[in-house]
C-alpha cells in the first residue's frame, strides 16, 4: 500500500471554503481514480492554515498514473484561489515593455512513499476515521540503515505503540534508497496522543530508532523550502499533530 501527502498552505480567510471544496470536489474526484482507496484532509493543530491531503493507494503505480494523467495538475489549478501567496515573485516584460511583478501561488509539496512497516496487517483505510488524530514524525535515515530501521519498527516500535491506550495504527513510511522516513501514528483523539508523548513512552521508543537516524525534524518544516532555517534536529524535536476534518474512503 502506498501513502501520499500533499501539503497545502491555505489563506486564513479561505480555510472554511477550502474544506467545503475538498469535501464536495476533491474527495469524489480522488475516489474515482483507479487505485485510490482513501482520502482525508488533516489540519495542523498550531496553524489551521496548514493542511495536508492524505491519500492511500493500492500501489505506487496507481499513484504515479494519477499524477501523469494530468488530473492532479487540474485539481491543483482549481485549488489556486484558496492558496496562500508565495514570498517569491515572477518578473516579466509586459506588452508595453515595462517590468511586471506578479506574486506566485505556493505550489503544494508532495511526499509519496510506500508503507514499509508497522501495523500493516490492518488496512490503514479502516483505521483512520474522521474523528481521530494523526501524529507525523519525520527522520533522515543513515544511508544503508533503512532495513535496520524497518526491522526495529516492525519488531519493537509498532507492537509497543499498539499497547498504548488510544493508539489505533502505527506506520513507517519509506523505502530502501530513500534517506527519509515518516512515522505516522493514528490516535482516538488529541488527548490520547498528547498523553502518550507526555508519558515518556515516545522518548523511549525514539531511543530504539535513534541509532539508524542522522537527524530528526519537524515534517512540515522539512518540506518548506522557504523555511529551511527552521528545521529542527534531534536535540530540539517538534512533532506535528493534525486533526482529520473531512474525507472518505471506498465503501463509506
Q: How many domains does the chain have?
A: 1
Average pLDDT over residues 200-217: 82
User: Residue 66, class by beta-carbon neighbours within 10 Å (0-12 exposed, 13-18 middle, 19+ buried)?
Assistant: buried
* Helix pair 71-79, 60-68: axis angle to 10 deg: 60
Q: Which residue has the cell 514570498?
A: 87
Q: Judge whether 149 lies within some domain.
A: yes
- pLDDT tier at 204, thresholds 50, 70, 90: very high
CA distance 20 to 163: 36
If we measure between CA atoms, which residue out of 31, 36, 26, 47 comes closest to residue 2?
A: 36
Cell 526495529: give the residue: 152
Whether residue 52 is contained in a domain is answered as yes
Is residue 114 one of the residues assigned to a domain?
yes
User: Residue ranges of the alpha helices (H) in 6-70?
Assistant: 15-21, 27-31, 60-68
Look at residue 133 and tell me if it is in a domain: yes
How many CA atoms within 13 Å lie on the side-chain side of 54?
A: 29
pLDDT at 136 over 90: no
d(CA 38, CA 54) in angstroms, rounded, equals 8
User: Is residue 224 over pLDDT 60?
Assistant: no
pLDDT of residue 201: 93
- Residue 194 and residue 20: Cα distance in Å, rounded? 28
Taking only the tens place, the pLDDT of each residue in 10-23 is: 889 999 999 999 99
Query: Within a domain: residue 92?
Result: no
CA-to-CA distance for 179 and 115, rounded, in angstroms? 15
Flag whether 10 is in a domain.
Answer: yes
Per the structure, the complete domain to which residue 50 belongs is given by 2-87+99-247
Is residue 161 one of the residues assigned to a domain?
yes
Compute the distance between CA of residue 77 and CA of residue 80 in angstroms, rounded to an integer: 5
Q: What percent of the chain has a predicted confidence (pLDDT) above 70?
A: 68
Determine the distance from the C-alpha atom of residue 19 to the mean position of all C-alpha atoms in its chain, rounded to a whole number.
17
94 within some domain:
no
What does the pLDDT average to over 123-145? 77
Q: How many residues does the chain have?
A: 252
CA pair distance 128, 194, nearest whole angstrom = 17
User: Is the predicted pLDDT of residue 218 greater than 80, yes or no?
Assistant: no
Q: Which three cell numbers stand for residue 74?
A: 487540474
Can you give the CATH number for the domain in which 121 is found?
3.30.70.100
∠ CA 5-218-146, rounded to 5°: 70
Amino acid at each position: 500500500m502506498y501513502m501520499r501527502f500533499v501539503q497545502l498552505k491555505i489563506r486564513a480567510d479561505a480555510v472554511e471554503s477550502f474544506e467545503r471544496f475538498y469535501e464536495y470536489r476533491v474527495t469524489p474526484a480522488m475516489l474515482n481514480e483507479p487505485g485510490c482507496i482513501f482520502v482525508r484532509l488533516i489540519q495542523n493543530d498550531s496553524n489551521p492554515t496548514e493542511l495536508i491531503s492524505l491519500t492511500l493507494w493500492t500501489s505506487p503505480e496507481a499513484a504515479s498514473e494519477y499524477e501523469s494523467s494530468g488530473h492532479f495538475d487540474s485539481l491543483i489549478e482549481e485549488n489556486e484561489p484558496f492558496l496562500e501567496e508565495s514570498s517569491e515573485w515572477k518578473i516579466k516584460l509586459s506588452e508595453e515593455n515595462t517590468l511586471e511583478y506578479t506574486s506566485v501561488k505556493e505550489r503544494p509539496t508532495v511526499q509519496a512513499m510506500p508503507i514499509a512497516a508497522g501495523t500493516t496487517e490492518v488496512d490503514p483505510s479502516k483505521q483512520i476515521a474522521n474523528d481521530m488524530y494523526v501524529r507525523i514524525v519525520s527522520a533522515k535515515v543513515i544511508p544503508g540503515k533503512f532495513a535496520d530501521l524497518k526491522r526495529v519498527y516492525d519488531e519493537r516500535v509498532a507492537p509497543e505503540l499498539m499497547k498504548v491506550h488510544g493508539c489505533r495504527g502505527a506506520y513507517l513510511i519509506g523505502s530502501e534508497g530513500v534517506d527519509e522516513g515518516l512515522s505516522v501514528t493514528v490516535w482516538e483523539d488529541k488527548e490520547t496522543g498528547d498523553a502518550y508523548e507526555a508519558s515518556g513512552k515516545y522518548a523511549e521508543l525514539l531511543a530504539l530508532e535513534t541509532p539508524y537516524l542522522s537527524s530528526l525534524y519537524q515534517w512540515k518544516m522539512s518540506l518548506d523550502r522557504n523555511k529551511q532555517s527552521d528545521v529542527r534536529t534531534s536535540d530540539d524535536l517538534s512533532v506535528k499533530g493534525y486533526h482529520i476534518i473531512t474525507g472518505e474512503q471506498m465503501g463509506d
